[in-house]
Amino acid sequence: MRFFIGLVLFNLFNGAQISFAQSNLFQPYDCRAEVEINNRIEKERLARELAIKDSIEQVEAQLALLKQEEIKRLLEYEQHAWMHWATASNFTFGKDRGNLPMITELNSLHPFFRDRVVRLIYQCKQKGIELAIVETFRTHAKQDEYKTMGKKYTRSGAGKSKHQYGLAVDLVPIVNGQPEWHNRALWRKIGIIGEQLGLRWGGRWRSLYDPGHFEWTGGLNAFDLANGKLPRIPKQEINYPCLENDLALLKFYQEQWESEQASYAHKNP
């Protein structure tokens, strides 16, 4: 175990790009069990960082559930050669969001960002705010659809949206069973919680006020992302020992969704 942690720290501090053989893509379990070893350290860090000591266990339970779900999905993937992700169809949240389904799967996001979003949802719930996931990862085809729908749908003109890297999420509060899009005071509460978790909040943008949008790039700019740089997770973060491996796998699934939605868009112009 000491060796393992040493190895992880070595890799993190050196920012080493762990290379892996193609065959490893389908053996994502190798160090997953070790993740549990780090839970205690993560728990202490969270307690300090979030100052919500009583609910740490519950946050962890949520994360554990996601991980379980992920493993289930991985097993299913091996059977069907397709990663099933949750989607939402147009008008699910009362707005025209185009014909292509929106991917709403949290596991389609960068794992570090995903876990921040889980905490955001959970902390809002603690405050009585229920959040629905409107969109997570976005394919090129979906982004193109928004572009044709007009300026209010995306602020990334020529560039890519952070959604296309799995580094952004769109959420909406649900009040009395209905999406509440126009409650500024409520958005502000949610936005502040997100910012405290280190996320960039679209409610601060003037050019396209987008209060349901949260993103995280690990310090990278649009140019870095376009050049394939991977966001760095904080140095002290040791809860992602298989990150490089997980990201490669995630990219593989994302590319499958890319082709799926590209052909859907082609067939349903």
Query: What are phi and psi for residue 121, nearest 5 degrees?
Result: -60, -40
Rank residues 100 and 168 by Cβ distance to Zn ion and give the closer one: 168
Closer Cβ to Zn ion, 201 or 253, answer by number: 201
Identify the burial level of 20 via C-beta atoms within 10 angstroms of its C-beta, where 0-12 means exposed, 13-18 middle and 19 or more buried: middle
Nearer Cβ to Zn ion (70/170): 170
Rounded to a whole number of angstroms, the minimum distance from the CB of residue 213 to Zn ion is 3
Indicate which single residue of 122, 136, 213, 241 sits in contact with Zn ion (rule: CB under 5 A).
Answer: 213
Minimum distance of Zn ion from residue 161's CB (angstroms)? 7
Q: How far apart are CA 258 and CA 245, in angstroms?
A: 20
Q: In whole angstroms, how close is the CB of 222 to Zn ion at the nearest point?
A: 14
Which of 53-61, 125-133, 206-214, 225-233 is the region at the interface with Zn ion (rule: CB under 5 A)? 206-214
Pick 164 or 245: Cβ nearer Zn ion: 164
Largest CA distance in the chain: 56
From the list 45-53, 80-88, 165-173, 260-268, the region that binds Zn ion by CB under 5 A is: 165-173
Q: Which is nearer to Zn ion, 110 or 213 (CB)?
A: 213
Interaction between residue 142 and Zn ion (CB under 5 A): no
Closest-approach residue to Zn ion (CB): 213
**CB of residue 170 to Zn ion, shortest distance in Å:** 4
Of 169-177, 229-237, 247-255, 261-269, which part binds Zn ion (CB under 5 A)?
Answer: 169-177
Question: Nearest 5°: CA angle at 163, between 223 and 123?
Answer: 120
Kindly tell me which residue out of 42, 70, 170, 246 binds Zn ion, with binding defined by CB under 5 A: 170
Residues touching Zn ion: how many (CB under 5 A)? 3
Residues in contact with Zn ion by CB under 5 A are: 168, 170, 213
